């Protein structure tokens, strides 16, 4: 008998010590400005712990699929083994994802954010939002450039400037759907439901 483990993302508080470097700037508002200026589409979800770091996910919704899943009470599937089995048997499209991951915006200090971006870059575009002043460390910026991670600075007036223009897609964007990527979609659907962030 195989036990199933539910894998639910932790919702983060924007008062976390990991966000002290943002000062009085509203982190979610800053992330939304980065979404507008860098990603250009989608909506931000609440701050979550993902890839061992604080992340603001950016998603677009398939409103028809979302309406069907809500109408049919097809709630998020948060079990990796169930999703892997569905994909292996070609049944993943029976209950499609209601969202598409457009990107992940990290909001921790850049040195810490690079490891988080490395973990998430297989699923979607990754962007480090960095408050200024001061400017990002040149070595950290160079590392982000090398790995294809975008770095966007945000000043106290919420003006966004792209300091490093990285890849605009995730590394596995053009590969067949993996159960890990599919699990992330379901986890974000779950976050949106818990936070009341489903489009009306």
Q: What is the mean pLDDT of residues 70-94?
A: 85
Contact predicate 96/86, CB 8 Å: no
Helices (H) and strands (E) in the chain, counts: 6, 8
Of 131, 124, 160, nearest to 35 by C-alpha is: 160
| pTM exceeds 0.75 | yes
Q: Any idea what DSSP says for residue 40? A: -
**pLDDT higher than threshold 90 for residue 177:** no
Percent of the chain with pLDDT over 90: 64
* Residue with the two structure tokens 């067949």: 176
Rounded average pLDDT over 98-102: 95
pLDDT in tens, 145-154: 999 999 999 9
Of the pLDDT bands very low, low, confident and very high (cuts 50, 70, 90), residue 155 is very high
């Amino acid at each position: 008998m195989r036990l199933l483990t539910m894998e639910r993302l932790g919702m983060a508080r924007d008062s976390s010590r990991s966000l002290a470097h943002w000062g009085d700037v509203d982190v979610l508002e800053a992330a939304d400005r980065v979404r507008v200026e860098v990603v250009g589409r989608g909506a931000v979800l609440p701050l979550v712990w993902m890839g061992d770091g604080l992340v603001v996910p950016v998603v677009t919704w398939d409103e028809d699929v979302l309406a069907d899943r809500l109408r049919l009470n097809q709630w998020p599937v948060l079990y990796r083994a169930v999703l892997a089995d569905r994909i292996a048997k070609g049944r993943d499209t029976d209950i499609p994802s209601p969202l598409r991951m457009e990107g992940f915006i990290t909001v921790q200090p850049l040195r810490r954010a690079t490891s988080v971006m490395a973990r998430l870059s297989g699923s979607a575009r990754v962007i480090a939002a960095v408050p200024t002043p001061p400017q990002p460390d040149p070595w950290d910026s160079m590392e982000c450039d090398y790995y294809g991670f975008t770095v966007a600075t945000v000043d106290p007036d919420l003006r966004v400037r792209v300091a490093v223009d990285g890849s605009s897609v995730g590394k596995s964007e053009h590969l067949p759907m993996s159960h890990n990527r599919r699990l992330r979609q379901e986890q974000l659907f779950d976050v949106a439901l818990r936070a009341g962030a489903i489009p009306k």
